[in-house]
Amino acid sequence: MVGLEPNEAPRSRQLALGAVVIGGDYQGLGVARSLGRRGIPVRVLDDERSVSRASRYVQGFHRVPSLRGERETLSSLEDLRLRWGLDGWVLYPTRDETVAALARHRDDLSRRWRVPVADWRAVQSCWDKRETYRIAAEAGIPHPRTWVLRTASDLAAVHDAGPFVVKPAIKEHFFYQTGVKAWRVDHPRDLVRVVQRATEIVGDGEVLVQQLVPGGGEEQYAYCALVRDGRALARMTVRRRRQHPSDFGRASTFVETVDLPHLEEPSLRFLSAIGYQGLVELEYKRDRRDGEFKLLDVNARTWGYHSLGAAAGVDFPYLLFRDQLGVGPPDSTLSTRAGVKWIRLLTDLPNAGRDIARGSLHPGDYLRTLRRLDTEAVLSLRDPLPWFYEVAHLPYLARHRSL
């Protein structure tokens, strides 16, 4: 693969070019390590205590009061640019609300930054699950049966025995108040109460009722890619074997690359329908009742376990940096090799303990998955301080990020 290599210094104006990672948890740390080990300068912008500030690959860590709102994010970026002269640097958002803010102001931001997010129409189709499932239906992509409740009376149209998932159309409107992505409802008689509670949080028109696809982590898969002009420049398919929490995970905790080429066609069909460009993760769950892989979510950004790609042969953040600098794409699609394992021990171990205690996971089965681990989300012998920082800040992480 041609381009900038670890010991190869960029020339002329590119000497000053680097990246700003917005959000410095383990996902942002993965971006910083990907770029930093190749000599690309990295600065991290965050509104929390995060492990990236301890990394040897981070040139500067900048703490701001808040990045939750669009105005705060844009203002913080402009202040950072002016103070440090970061014109032309590449932005790496790690949260959905940040992606939305950058997409809405992409044209204006692109005068000063390299903004590797899709346009707002494409991002909205991923961010708002009402749009995600509508487009999936139009494109003939399997997905769980879903009812969009515009008003309370729409609940009468839900004719199913359950179990159900009650979730918001836009995760951020729900997650920061509840700490979860969705609620499970086992019986139709409980739907009214749970839907009313969800509506009180997100408002009318944003509550979805969805058929629950049975199965746990053994049925969860994802297609990850760097997409340009309807083509995957790089791709990775994975089995998301464990997540935290186990039912509706906020984040994956144990992931393994697998060979599932048939996930590419429906994924690219969806992305082409919305004109998507950039890094993306499409989450699927295999329905063991009919064998179909059903689309659940589309994440228009780096994903939590993206550093698995580098361990398996495809370094997504670095490829995106090259793409933003106009380095030509590879002649053929880069693919990861199967059987490479990623884990985040901080959340995987306690979550596995809870699953073992309630009988849903056998201790022997769990230990067998730990026999050969290829990469850990934070722990690295080449960059050890972030792991110590994370351990030292466990109480803070438990309180502010639920780990």
Residue carrying the six token digits 């409802």: 185
Q: List the structure tokens of 202.
A: 């997100």
Prediction pTM value: 0.92
Q: Which residues contact 165 (CB under 8 A, 6 or more apart)?
A: 144, 182, 183, 184, 185, 208, 209, 210, 211, 212, 248
Strand partners, 293: 286
Opening angle at CA 369, ends 255 and 289, nearest 5: 65
CB 46 within 8 A of CB 67: yes
Strand partners, 207: 149, 168
Q: What is the pLDDT along the chain (403 residues), one digit of tens a residue?
A: 223 333 333 333 444 699 999 999 999 999 999 999 999 999 999 999 999 999 999 999 999 999 999 999 999 999 999 999 999 999 999 999 999 999 999 999 999 999 999 999 999 999 999 999 999 999 999 999 999 998 878 888 898 888 999 999 998 888 888 888 899 999 988 999 999 999 999 988 999 999 999 988 789 999 999 999 999 999 999 999 998 877 776 789 999 999 999 999 999 999 999 999 999 999 999 999 999 999 999 999 999 999 999 999 999 999 999 999 998 767 788 999 999 999 999 999 999 999 999 998 899 999 999 989 999 999 999 999 999 999 998 887 777 665 5
Q: List the structure tokens of 355.
A: 């699953």
Domains and CATH numbers, the chain: 12-117 (3.40.50.720), 145-211 (3.30.1490), 217-400 (3.30.470.20)
CB 43 within 8 A of CB 84: yes
